[in-house]
Amino acid sequence: MTPPPQPEQNALFDEPLAPADAPAAEPTAPRPARRPRAGVEATAVDDATRTLAAALPHGLHLGTSSWHFPGWAGLVWGGDYAEATLSKHGLVAYARHPLPRSVSLDRAFYRPLTATQYAGYAAQVPAHFRFVVKAPALVCDAQVRAEDGRGRAPNPAFLSTELAISQFVQPALEGLGDKVGALVFQISPLPRHMLARLPELIDRIGALLAALPPLVTHAPDGVIALEVRDAAFLHAQHAPHLARTLRAARAASGNPVTYCLGLHAKMPPIEQQLPLLRALWPGPLVCRWNLHRRHGAFGYEAAKAQYEPFDQLIDPDDETRTHLARVIAGTCGAGELAYVTINNKAEGSAPLSVAALAEAVTNDAPGQGDS
């Protein structure tokens, strides 16, 4: 299939549960020696942060959505750097910070990445680091969209198993190897006619997830997660069907298949998404905390304008953090993996949100640290 064009438990669920660029060619005339390739220094980390990181559950991988933000100077970076420099060279410094053990490669949604690109990322992080990667819109968006985001035509590759494997799963496994954390299939908002036939669509999603190759040989910690951006999936008439479908995909593929908590204003708050996660227990946790609810379903630009340069918590969301910390503590306490990434638009500064959530987790799960 030819790809279409794309634009650039302590109380787990409130109840007990079982235990970079090629240099230009040299000119013929003599020139001074080239400057060394740009580097990014990591910020100095105090003993309290190191102690906090050491107390986190072993199976927890906290992180942010990307890493290219100049406003993180003093939080992640040891100096002032341009966004382009951070985009190319900042991952090494980011991964040296003791709290982030993951990062979301959101750029993979806009254009499939190659195994070589994935391998380049993997080479920049330590062995314990895991990546959360979004599947490309090529297979996750029912519509081919114009540059302004409006759907302009049906996407013939939507939910193509062939393309999901060849353009996403195989390159990620080949390039990232055992640094694969969660491979997230985020289904973009659907047109009305598809929402009217949601049971059929859930079956198609299940067929795709069930056909994915086993992750365990390349990525023992790898998880497959489904994220949705339409609340209809969680309505009483559809959620049980979705849960059964995800459990069936687990059994058929042999992969840990789960529902991704998508904390976004398009979706119900976390406490209303937990019943679906409960229906899939036991299993891993995948959560992407993307946008504070106060900005509304289309509030990314408003949040960006208010929160830049992303160096402080503008809108602390204590309620979401408390719920999420309990889910993390219960999941990891039962020996399951947890992948949680946070966007700057969730509270104002993703690194500070990571630190605040880490504090909440350790308060919920004392004595659950690494050894």
Domain ranges in the chain are 47-364
* pLDDT value at 352 more than 50: yes
Within 8 A by CB and 6+ apart from 54, the residues are 98, 369, 370
Rounded mean pLDDT of 73-87?
97
User: Model confidence at 36, in pLDDT bands (50, 70, 90)?
Assistant: very low
Rounded Cα distance, 302 and 277, in Å = 30
- What confidence score (pLDDT) does residue 38 get? 58
- What confidence score (pLDDT) does residue 296 get? 82
The pLDDT tens digits of the residues spanning 232-283 come to: 999 999 999 999 999 999 999 999 999 999 999 999 999 999 999 999 999 9
pLDDT above 90 covers what percent of the chain? 82
User: Model confidence at 56, in pLDDT bands (50, 70, 90)?
Assistant: very high
Within 8 A by CB and 6+ apart from 38, the residues are 85, 88, 89
Which region among 66-75, 186-195, 295-304 has the lowest average model confidence (pLDDT)? 295-304
Within 8 A by CB and 6+ apart from 245, the residues are 202, 203, 205, 206
Rounded mean pLDDT of 48-57?
97
* pLDDT value at 149 more than 60: yes
* pLDDT value at 7 more than 70: no
Bin 256: left if φ > 0, else alpha if -120 < ψ < 50, else beta.
Answer: beta
- What confidence score (pLDDT) does residue 323 get? 97
Q: Are 223 and 286 in contact (CB under 8 A)?
A: yes
Q: What is the 3 state secondary structure string of 28-97?
A: CCCCCCCCCCCCCCECCCCHHHHHHHHHCCCCEEEEEECCCCHHHECCCECCCCCHHHHHHHCHHHHHHC
Rounded mean pLDDT of 310-333?
97
User: Model confidence at 8, in pLDDT bands (50, 70, 90)?
Assistant: very low
Superfamily of the domain at 47-364: Protein of unknown function UPF0759 (3.20.20.410)
